[in-house]
Amino acid sequence: MNLKGSQRGGARQLAAHLLNARENEHIELHEVRGFMSVNLKQALEEIYAVSRGTRCKQPMFSLSLNPPPDKDVPIEAFEAAVDKVEKKLGLEGQPRIIVFHEKKGRRHAHCVWSRIDADTMTAINLPHYKFKLRDVSRELYLEHGWQLPKGLEKGGQRNPLNFTLAEWQQANRRGEDPKAIKMVFQKCWRLTKTDKAFAAELERNGYYLARGDRRGFVAVDWRGEVYSLSKWIGVGGKELKDRLGEAQSLPSVIETKAKLAKHMTERLQGFVREAEIGHKDISARIVQERSKMVGRHREERETLYAAQEKRGQEENLQRAERLPHGIRAVWYFVTGKWRAIRKQNEAEAAQCLARDRAEKQEIITRQLKERRTLHQQTTVWLEKHWQQTALFKQDIAYYLSMDVGKDLRDRAAVQARTPAGLEPMRPVHSRFNHQQERYEKDI
């Protein structure tokens, strides 16, 4: 189970993130412990209010618990993991909140603790918490028999294709896969040894080497999106400079964008618009299918929870009726029958709670499996789309390399100017139409 934690402030921002129904398909407030309020927003604001009596600027510790995407983890396993982290970090007994999120067929949890010790009005120090979380994460993987990620098997073996939040956001704005983008940049870097070869390999994949304003060496795609090479390749500035020379010799980002815009003919822009429209149509179909499934799943859960609540009230009433009133209650208390009935009621209440949890876990597991199947189908289409996007970028680069803005008027001219041994330009628009037809048959 991957564990990521951070000390933070900003109670309102954190509450907005935990209750974000736009990005999460299901949200469940599982536990609110040690607060006056049972409302998540008010509980987080309570942490902030208490922290005002101290000098602490980050009164909360936020933890995310992410099991492997293909594993169905029961609630008890999440609770046990939270308790283990709480003990490891020295946060035992501190007020905490547990929230469950579900999206894309996987379920994960968030836990937020107050770092403020109300007795001493001081913030609990959390030294080396990242190393402690790594140790607990490794223990959880071994405990559940899951395959350890490389980063946990041995330090320094992180997946080179892992991306940061900023990289994911940049790729997501363009509807592309951040791993695919990172793979292209790393492949270009790995296969070349000189600055000219690297620039040529980038251009073949639809990226153009340029001089950044602050980042030194950058790449610009045909849309004008700027990518920091040091971040996307994962190398330092000195290593880039040793191979590519001085960044001052390269055109600036503004000059590169102007050059690309000059050669983006109306015909080429038409292909781009056609491809984007096809992608949006299929994306809308995916969103519609997902919305239908999520809506149905929410109705099923609400029906189950309502039935459990009604049954629980009836069972509580039956257990309460076992306890006598008046003089008879005094007699039961003196003879010990009261204690026996109370123990029986507590045992039955625990059994009913376990039964309700099992029913809840059963419906969650079934729905996650169904949602995971839809997500896998969507992933297959997205992978095809990203592959086509890579080919599309190569086509764009080929058009631009032929200087279409100057002397190419139609596809016949492109075919006529194709060098010997080079594959002719593929019909971009027909390829995307064929892809859309195949996807519509699949769903």
Question: Tens digits of per-residue pLDDT, 191-215?
Answer: 888 888 888 888 888 888 888 876 6
| Largest Cα span, the chain | 106
CB atoms within 10 A of CB 284: 10
Q: Give CA–CA dist 210/400, Å, rounded.
A: 16
* Average pLDDT for 305-329: 90
Q: Which two tokens stand for residue 356?
A: 């309700």
Helix-helix angle 327-335:337-401, to 10 degrees:
90
Q: Give CA–CA dist 272/124, Å, rounded.
A: 55
Specify the pLDDT at position 162.
57
Lowest model confidence (mean pLDDT) among 33-47, 109-123, 428-442: 428-442
Higher pLDDT among residues 257 and 392, named by residue: 257
pTM recorded for the entire structure? 0.66
Q: How would DSSP label each residue in 302-313?
A: HHHHHHHHHHHH
Most confident of 146-160, 250-264, 343-357: 343-357
Q: Give CA–CA dist 401/30, Å, rounded.
A: 58
Among candidate residues 398, 421, 393, the one with its CA nearest the CA of residue 408? 398
CB atoms within 10 A of CB 282: 20
Exposure of 349 by Cβ count < 10 A (0-12 exposed, 13-18 middle, 19+ buried)?
middle
Q: What is the CA angle 253-394-176, rounded to 5?
A: 75
* Average pLDDT for 36-62: 93
Distances 76 to 79, 81, 278 between C-alpha atoms, Å: 5, 9, 45
Sole residue written with tokens 């609770």: 79
- Start-to-end CA span in the chain (Å): 33
Specify the pLDDT at position 395.
66
Among candidate residues 275, 155, 176, the one with its CA nearest the CA of residue 232? 176
Exposure of 68 by Cβ count < 10 A (0-12 exposed, 13-18 middle, 19+ buried)?
middle
Overall size of the chain counted in residues: 443
Q: Residue 225 in 3-state DSSP?
A: coil
